[in-house]
Structure 1
Amino acid sequence: MITRFSLLVLLSSTFAATAADWARFRGPNGSGIAPDDKPVPVEWSATKNLKWKTALPGPGSSSPIVVGDRIFVTCWSGYATDGPQSAGDITALKRHLVCVDRTTGKILWDKSVPAKQPEEPYGGMFAQNGYASHTPVSDGKSVFAFFGKSGVHAFDLEGKPLWQADVGDWDDRRNWGSASSPILHGDILIVPALVESQTLYGFDKNTGKQLWKAPSEGFAGTWGTPVLAGADLAIAVPGEVWGFNPDTGKLRWYATGLQSDSVCNSVVTDGSAVYAMSERGGGSVAIKAGGKGDVSATNTLWTGPNGSRIATPILWEDRLYWISGSIATCRDAKTGAEIYSERIEGGTAAPSSGGGQGFGGGRRGGGGGGDYASPVVANGHLYHMGRRGEVLVVKLGPKFELISRNTIEGDTSDRSATPAISNGQLFLRSAKTLYCIGE
């Protein structure tokens, strides 16, 4: 019999777990900031503050998400799991959604989906990305995985399939692969199939019914994940920043944005302004969200020099932070003015290489793009994952202060996944291994 007291305890416990969830790419609204103030270790190794590690069924660069006492992450198997030399038969390719027990690291279930064929072959710049780059998203009741050409798949938390939807099967014109992650807006699952069909989709999360679609050739060259900026759904595309109505998929406003033919990272927002940045002469821009039509003249807050190309920056207390290669940068979010730019000796980025060695085949070159994972924040500390496996911990503030450099010895595989943070624990993902860091 459930008493009134025990019911209240149950409800409060459920709320606490939900409040601390890291349920999508870069956590709450894509901010990269931990949803609670519990202390996270700033030092760890293979023998210190490592609670558990779990071998995954295959490689990937998607981020883990945290839902209560479970971790969800995607990977692939059956083809090219140890680099081009192990390619094999592409028709054996499968994508996986894996559920891991948060306390023990034990795999609770593993659901695989055969890849829709023909799939892009593994090699060249595609090998810098692979077949599992989209981070899943959850509402605490279901989990939604985007598998590129193989579509969108919804499961309950026990792994029961709920529904599936196709969103296109185009190849990326540059052979870079696909990476944008789905997000939730109320009962709407928003899927950025920007490579697969150059389209944003809105689905009923409960039934899989398509509610709206927003196709545009302007999405070509975009790999970012959208965020909710006030009442708008914001995303940067080559040349512009766009604001959609997330309920209908209709474009509300647009503004001149990054002067680049590719946008590899995501915008960040404080709820009223949207910040976008790029390298290769693309520059950076801050746009006030809202309005109608072309708001370039009225809503552009500032434009600035180049910023981060692949990693999405952190917006923290009116400052923008990122680490690109061996340079740590901080700018004033209100003005775009540089606060500091510091070189880190022995930076974290992998050396440039055009082909790469694959996710399981040792350290992989950066293809000129540097680190792939985006920084995250807990307790005023920034955690930056380099592709070689070193995590820099930097104290946030107007002066650069490097607190620690951390590696887990024995794992030399690629590190392209953005970490997750929840309840004082840091979840790291290398190509084939999931780690839980905690005191």
Structure 2
Amino acid sequence: MLNSRRVGNSDRKYQNVVINNKAVDCEQHSMNFNINPLVAVKDKSMIQFIRCVVSFLLICQTAGPPVSGEDWAHWRGTGRNDIVAESSGWKNGKWPLHEIWRVQVPEGASSPLVVNGQLFTMGWQQDQEHIVCLDTMSGKELWRQSYPCPKYGRLATGDEGLYSGPSSTPEFDTETGLLYTLSTDGDLNCWNTRSAGQSVWSLNLYDTFDVPQRPKVGRSGLRDYGYTSSPLIHGDWLIVEVGAKQGSLIAFDKNTGKQAWASQSNASAGHNGGPVLMTIEGLSCVAIHNHDGLLVARLDKGKEGQTVATYPWITSFANNIASVAVHDNCVLLTSAYNQHKIAKLRITLKGAELLWEQKAASKVCTPVIHYGHVYWAWQNLFCLDFETGRIVWRGGKCGEAGSCIVTADEKLIVWAGDGDLSLVELADRSSEKYTELASLKRIGKSDAWPHVAFSNGRLYCKDRNGHIVCLKLSK
């Protein structure tokens, strides 16, 4: 029997887990277990099991619209935090992964989504943007939609050899079955996945809002990679980082595409993976790492788009790429180049307060926060203490590209470099050093810019050239 409940105020949140009529309290902030006086749990395996249960419950509570635990419907997964309720499959010293299919789709750094046995992705080929739906069991193409689109955005400048085609990950609405995509040239489209991807509505952000080129930063060269961030479903809204004079964030009616509101801030767009939801003093908010730094805006009725907090964080080449990582009322910001650091901020309705900074950075990979630790893959795999910022360990070789997933059995799946997949122990089980359990080299054929997806015991690894490999965990 499993139950969960929240008690206490916004500063102290607890999970009460009842297992076979035995209650154990878990403090969410520190993740130290306070044992019910009626039951003394001394078995470490029981504690690990309880923590896995709590992880699952937390995912369910923070995921927004209801999604099956087997689905990967959003940027960074069900909870938009790279934490899943599935096991890595590691058992008896083995990681039983087997390739079951491999397909080629149009190129681009857009990450795949997996919903109800279908994989959705997008890419560019021969002056066309393609929205592709595959069967997850076989890799067979089920349907495809396309429209004219340039390989790079109309204002794109710099680094064309490092990327091509779309960088934004689609967004799936589990309530309606609608799929939303954003091209590098600003084409915002809504597709009906229940009708073979039939177009529902579309608009172009550059044309609609006359969006200017991103500004040059200091002495660094001008960079503009077009639109990169994933749209975000929240209720009846589709929230998009537009970076226009009318608003940095703009919300659209998800069914019609009609503008609902625009943020008070009109900062230029960053090059990040997408906005993320958070709650500040009981109010729904959205956070984004835009060109100028952190922006947190309100989502409550009558205050939509009103600025809650900002924090300056301007990076050379406008390369604020790693998305905001959120835990309770705290956020992590990080970037490389002139910043080359990571910072933890506490957000209140009065603004942002710096808690710590550490001279360690993620250039691309969004940090994952899990049980008091922070993980990311850039050049090496990093593990930091979330409370203090202390580097716990670093190791391995990840290259420039990378994404991470924390599994229910407390392992870290890392997709990085030129298509390398590895399984690593979390700090709870390896507190002093980086410990790699298994690895598969060069699964892909080019940069692992797209985020890896994990759904129903299968890993979906995509590279920037559009090679997708499906790996299944053997039972």
Scaled by the length of structure 1, the TM-score of the pair is: 0.78
Of residues 447, 450, 467, the one that matches 1:417 is: 450
1:136 maps to what in 2?
170
Corresponding residue for residue 460 of structure 2: 427
Distance 2:136 2:438 in 1: 25
Residue 168 of structure 1: SS of its match in structure 2?
A: helix
Distance 2:189 2:199 in 1: 7
- Select 1:181's aligned residue among 230, 236, 254: 230
Between the aligned partners of 1:301 and 1:420, the Cα distance in structure 2 is 32
Aligned match of 1:355: none
Asked whether the 8 Å contact 1:257–1:276 carries over to 2, the reply is: no
Aligned Cα root-mean-square deviation (Å): 2.9
The answer to whether the 8 Å contact 1:179/1:223 transfers is yes
The aligned residue for residue 336 of structure 1 is 389
User: 2:254 aligns to what?
Assistant: 205
Query: Structure 2 matches for 1:147-166, cutoff 5 A?
Result: 147-157=183-193, 158-166=196-204
Counterpart for residue 101 of structure 1: 135
Separation in 2, partners of 1:151, 1:190: 14
Aligned counterpart, 1:244: 297
Residues 265 and 137 of structure 1, relative CA distance in 2, 3 Å threshold: same
Cα distance change, pair 414–387 in 1 and its aligned pair in 2 (3 A): same
What's the counterpart of residue 112 of structure 1? 146
Amino acid of the structure 2 residue aligned with 1:151: D
Compared CA separation, residues 128 and 44, structure 1 to 2 (3 A): farther
Equivalent-residue separation in structure 1 for 2:406 and 2:314 (angstroms): 29
- SS at structure 1 position matched to 2:348: coil
Any conservation in 2 of the 1:51–1:437 contact (CA below 8 Å)?
Answer: yes
Quote the Cα distance in structure 2 between the aligned partners of 1:16 and 1:238: 32
Instruction: Give the structure with the larger strand fraction.
Output: 2
Amino acid in the other structure paired with 2:308: W
Distance 1:150 1:218 in 2: 17
Q: CA deviation at 1:239?
A: 5.3
Matched, 1:393 2:423: yes
Report the counterpart of residue 82 of structure 1 in structure 2.
none
Residue 69 of structure 1: how far off its partner (Å): 1.0
Distance 1:197 1:110, change over 3 A: farther
- Judge which range, 132-141 or 197-206, deviates more: 197-206
Q: How many angstroms apart in 2 are the aligned matches of 1:155 and 1:270?
A: 32
Structure 1 residue 335: Cα displacement = 1.7
User: 1:64 aligned to 2:102?
Assistant: no
Give the conservation status (yes or no) of the 8 Å contact 1:221–1:238.
Answer: yes
Q: Number of residues paired by the alignment?
A: 377
> Could you say if the C-alpha distance between residues 305 and 159 of structure 1 is closer, same or farther in structure 2, counting changes exceeding 3 Å?
same
* SS of residue paired to 2:185: helix
* C-alpha distance in structure 2 between counterparts of 1:281 and 1:122, whole Å: 22
Deviation at 1:145, TM superposition (A): 0.8
Residue 168 (structure 1) shift: 1.5
- Of 30, 37, 42, the match for 2:80: 30
What residue number does 1:74 align with? 122
* Letter matched to residue 260 of structure 1: T
Given candidates 290, 315, 334, the residue that maps to 1:260 is 315
What code does the residue aligned with 2:417 have? R
Give 1:122 shift.
8.6
- Structure 1 contact 70–99 (Cα < 8 Å) conserved: yes
C-alpha contact 2:152 2:164 (8 A) present in aligned 1: no
Distance 1:122 1:236, change over 3 A: closer
Q: Deviations over 1:262-318 (max 9, x none)?
A: 3111011123211111223422221223313xx24xx33223323211111111111
> Secondary structure of the equivalent of 2:160?
helix
| Structure 1: runs of 5 or more not aligned | 1-14, 79-92, 350-369
Query: 2:335 aligned to 272, 278, 284, which one?
Result: 278
For structure 2, list consecutive stretches of 5 or more residues without a partner in the other structure.
Answer: 1-64, 215-221
Cα deviations by residue, 1:124-183 (Å, 9 ceiling, x for unpaired)? 502322221110010121111111324211111121111112212555551434311111
Find the counterpart in structure 1 of residue 274 from structure 2. Answer: 225
Sequence identity percentage: 25
> How has the CA–CA distance of structure 1 residues 182 and 50 changed in structure 2, closer, same or farther, with 3 Å as cutoff?
same
Q: What are the superposed Cα offsets for residues 174-208 of structure 1, whole Å, 9 maximum, x if unpaired?
A: 14343111111112111113489973221111121
**Equivalent residues of 1:393, 1:405 under 8 A apart:** yes
Q: Deviations over 1:41-85 (max 9, x none)?
A: 69779xx511211221x211111011111110010110xxxxxxx
For the 8 Å contact 1:137–1:182, the answer to whether it is kept is: yes
C-alpha displacement at 1:16, in angstroms?
Answer: 9.4
When structure 1 is superposed on structure 2, of 376-385 and 309-318 the one drifting more is 376-385
Mean Cα deviation higher: 137-146 or 231-240: 231-240
Q: Residues 123 and 116 (structure 1 numbering): CA distance in 2 closer, same or farther, change over 3 Å?
A: closer
Q: How far apart are 1:119 and its partner, in Å?
A: 4.6
Match of 2:413 among 383, 395, 399: 383
Range with bigger deviation, 201-210 or 165-174: 165-174
Shift of 1:259: 5.5
Q: Partner residue of 1:88?
A: none
Detail structure 1 runs of 4+ shifted over 6 Å in the superposition: 41-45, 195-198
